[in-house]
Amino acid sequence: MNRLLLALAAGCLMALPARAAEPQFALFAGGCFWCVETDFDGVPGVLETISGYAGGTSANPTYEDYVKGGHREVVRIKFDPERVSYSTLVAVLFHTTDPTDGGGQFCDRGFAYTTAIYALDERQAMDAKAGKIKAEAELGKPIVTPVEGAAKFWPAEDYHQDFGARNPIRYWYYRNGCGRNRAVEALWGDRAYAGINH
């Protein structure tokens, strides 16, 4: 009888569906958060992107005062690790920005618009550093994007969220006027925007 129950229990356990992996998060700075958000929305496996601020010393920063508080514009990316790896997201960040520019990104200048990877744990830090080395080898020049530790994420105001989708004409006018696509393509060539479904 006990063997029969054990066999039945084993059969039931084998029939249970595999548990889906828990979503994970990445926190990246890549210049204008509208553009970073839009780029990562096109990556298969990305579940959600939220624009915000991170890295500074002030609490509850707003669009009016985040620069004064020492924050960067960032995007928090929620992703399915079974569909896209953190390493792939790091590569997408590099191939959608100019990581050789330490003074900002494209027409947006100053610390608030500089690139950065905020590693949320040791594994992310290792993967980010490995991705940086790989990207430097691809470009043949130094990458200045720092790999920093975890930082408090502050969501930006509602009107900044999904800005490209909700205001496509204004968004594309800004993006094209800022020269983002042209500069990324000039730097990376046919590797620009690798991993993104346009």
Amino acid at residue number 128:
A
Q: State the first-to-last Cα distance of the chain, in angstroms, to the nearest integer.
A: 60
32 given a catalytic annotation: yes
Q: Which residues contact 85 (CB under 8 A, 6 or more apart)?
A: 127
The angle formed by the CA atoms of residues 91, 147 and 130, to the nearest 5 degrees, is 50
- Residues 87, 131: Cα–Cα separation, whole Å: 7
Helix 86-95 with 33-41: angle, nearest 10 deg: 130
Kindly tell me the sign of the dihedral angle through the C-alpha atoms of 28, 178, 58, 47. Answer: negative
- Residues 175, 36: Cα–Cα separation, whole Å: 11
| From 32, 35, 107, 178, the catalytic residue | 32
- Residues 16, 86: Cα–Cα separation, whole Å: 28
CA-CA-CA-CA torsion for 155, 192, 143, 106, nearest 10 degrees?
A: -60
Q: Which residues are catalytic?
A: 32
